[in-house]
Amino acid sequence: MPGNPHTSVRSRQVAAALRELRERAGLSGAEVAKRMGMSPSKISRIETGNSGLQIEDVAALLGLYQVPAATRDELLDLVRRSEERGWWTRQPGLPQLWRSLIDFEAKATRIQNYEALVVPGLLQTAEYTRAIIQGVAPTVSEAELDNLVAARMARQTVLARSSAPQFFAVVDEGALRRPVGGPGVMHRQLHHLLGVAEQPHVTVRIVPVAAGAYAGLRGPFVILEFADEPALVFIENHGTGLFLEEEADLAAYRLALGTILHAALAPAATAELIAQIACELR
C-alpha cells in the first residue's frame, strides 16, 4: 500500500522505531496483534506509516516491548508533535545523528548528496573516516572512535544491496585536495572513489576549483527520494541534524542541485580529474 503523502517525518521515524523494537523483541506482527487485541493489518499500518499514530497505541506497544523510560518519552514526544512539518534533532554523539539518516537511506530509491568539504560518507574508506572524526571530535576515546568508524562502514552496506538505491554524489574538488589523514590515506581514498563510481547505480561528479563561486558554497545537503513516501532533505551541521519535508524546501534544494551540476564536470572528466589528483599524491 502506498505511503500516506501527508505523513510527517516524525511519524515515519516513530513507525520505523516501532518496527525495529518489535524485531528486537523477537515478535512477529501477528504475535503483537494478538497480545494487543489489534488486527495484524493495523500493526502493519502503524509500522509502515500508513496509519495515523495514536499516542495510546504507541504507548501500549512501547510497554509491550519494555522500552526504557528515556526512549519511551522521546518517541511519545514525537507522536505528540507528529503533525508538525520538518524535524530537527540535536544529539551529543554522532551515532544518534546517523541513526535517523541510516533509517531513511535504507528505504530510499534515490540518494543525491552534495558535499563541499569532505568525500560523501557513503563513499569514504575506513581510514579516511577515522581521520575525519579525529579532526572534528578530537576528544573521543579510541574505543568510541572504533565504534564511530564501524557505524559509518555499516551505513555503506546500503550501496551493496541487490536493491541498492541510485546514488548521485557531487563533490567540490577542494574536498579531494584536502590532505585528510595524509597523502597515503588520500591516495587510497581517491582510488576507492574511482572504483565505486564504476558501479552502475553510482554516479560521481566533481565541481572543479576553476568554477569559482557557485551555488554549492552555501553548504552540503542530501536529497532522499522514496517509492511510496514523500522526499526529504537532510542537512547536518556540528551536533544538529535537520530533515526538511515542505514542498518549497524540496524545490529549493532540487533547484540548487541543478545549478551546482551546471558547474560540475561530466562523469568521464570527473574520473580523469580524480585520477590526476591521485597521481599527484604519489
115's enclosing H/E stretch is strand 110-115
Give residue 115's pLDDT band: very low, low, confident or very high (50, 70, 90). Answer: very high
Residue boundaries of the structural domains of the chain: 9-80, 87-280
Q: Is the pLDDT of residue 12 over 90?
A: no
Letter for the amino acid at 11?
A: S
Give whichever of 65-74, 166-175, 223-232 has the largest mean pLDDT.
Answer: 166-175
Window from 44-53, 158-167, 170-179, 256-265 with minimum mean pLDDT? 44-53
- The pTM score is 0.71
Please report which confidence band the pLDDT of residue 144 belongs to, taking 50, 70 and 90 as the band edges: confident
Say whether 222 sits in a helix, a strand or coil. Answer: strand
pLDDT at 100 over 80: no
Percent helix, percent strand, percent coil in the chain, to nearest 5: 55, 15, 30
The average confidence (pLDDT) of the chain is 87
C-alpha cell at 178: 584536502
Which CATH class for the 87-280 domain? alpha beta
Q: What value does the mean pLDDT take over residues 158-176?
A: 94
Tens digits of per-residue pLDDT, 248-273?
Answer: 999 999 999 999 999 999 999 999 99
Q: CA–CA separation, 153 vs 156, rounded Å?
A: 5
Distance, CA of 21 to CA of 64 (rounded, Å): 10
Instruction: Give the pLDDT band of residue 239 (cuts 50, 70, 90).
Output: low
For the residues 149-164, what does the mean pLDDT come to? 87
pLDDT of residue 1: 37
The long-range contacts involving 209-217, CB below 8 angstroms and separated by at least 24 positions, are 209/172, 209/173, 209/174, 209/177, 211/263, 211/264, 214/259, 214/260, 214/263, 215/256, 215/259, 215/260, 215/263, 216/114, 216/116, 216/170, 216/172, 216/256, 216/260, 216/263, 217/116
Helices (H), 108-264: 126-136, 142-155, 173-177, 183-197, 247-263
User: What pLDDT does 90 receive?
Assistant: 44
Q: Which fold has domain 9-80?
A: 434 Repressor (Amino-terminal Domain) (1.10.260)
